[in-house]
Amino acid sequence: MAVAVPERVELAESLVEFINEWKDQPGNLIMVLHRTQLEYGYLPEPVVMEVARQLGTPASKLFGVATFYNYFKLTPPGRNRIAVCLGTACYLKGAGELTDTFSDQLDVAVNGVTEDKEFSLEGVRCVGCCGLAPVVMVNGEVHGKLKPDGVQGVIEKYRNGQGE
Ligand code: FES
């Protein structure tokens, strides 16, 4: 779930500690961006600016990394985050068709958010439960062996907060 970002950004203490810990280590930009996204659900611009300041790195460099990797999100996800696993096992068992079905039924593109901000749709790498392929996670909850005709039921479960 995305966290609202206040006007003036004061980073969470644990994030500041993480930045200090990683500041001078190689590969730190990805680690720090990853930790930041965990904190906020995405990478809000003012937060990235503040992170860059604390790292002593130009913000443009951080935005460069964030836009290069599909994993990083610069816009807030939907209230319900649908992640279709596109790992090999899931792909072979129809994850592509599942993605298309979610996309059609919600009228949203992959990596997009529905107009009412209820749902976002994305493809992710193996989520580690290949025995249940094809797997879809909604807000971190696993839906395994999902068929296209089960997609509507999953959507209805979460629409209007019913899945909470
Ligand atoms: S490939 Fe989908 S859970 Fe592993």
Q: Rounded to the nearest whole angstrom, what is the distance from the C-alpha of residue 163 to the centroid of ligand 1? A: 23
pLDDT of 7 higher than 80: no
Look at residue 71 and give its three-state secondary structure. Answer: coil
**Percent residues over pLDDT 70 in the chain:** 92
- Predicted confidence at residue 1, as pLDDT, reads 57
pLDDT of 163 higher than 70: no
- The CA distance from 24 to 42, in Å, is 24
Q: Is the CB of 135 under 6 A from ligand 1?
A: yes
- For ligand 1, mutation pick of 84, 90, 93, 145 (most atoms within 8 Å of CB): 90
Q: Tens digit of pLDDT for each residue in 38-88?
A: 999 899 999 999 999 999 999 999 999 999 987 888 888 899 999 999 999
- For ligand 1, mutation pick of 99, 122, 126, 137 (most atoms within 8 Å of CB): 126
- Predicted confidence at residue 64, as pLDDT, reads 95
- Predicted confidence at residue 35, as pLDDT, reads 95
Q: Is the CB of 127 under 6 A from ligand 1?
A: yes
What is the pLDDT of the chain when averaged over all its residues? 91
Q: Is the CB of 129 under 6 A from ligand 1?
A: yes
Task: Provide the CA 45 distance to its chain's centre, in angstroms.
Answer: 16
pLDDT band at 134 (very low <50, low <70, confident <90, very high): very high
- CB environment 83-104: b (16+ within 10 A), e (fewer): bbbbbebbbebbbeebbebbbe
- The CA distance from 37 to 58, in Å, is 18
Q: Which CATH class is domain 80-161?
A: alpha beta
Cα dihedral value 149, 151, 152, 155, nearest 10? 170
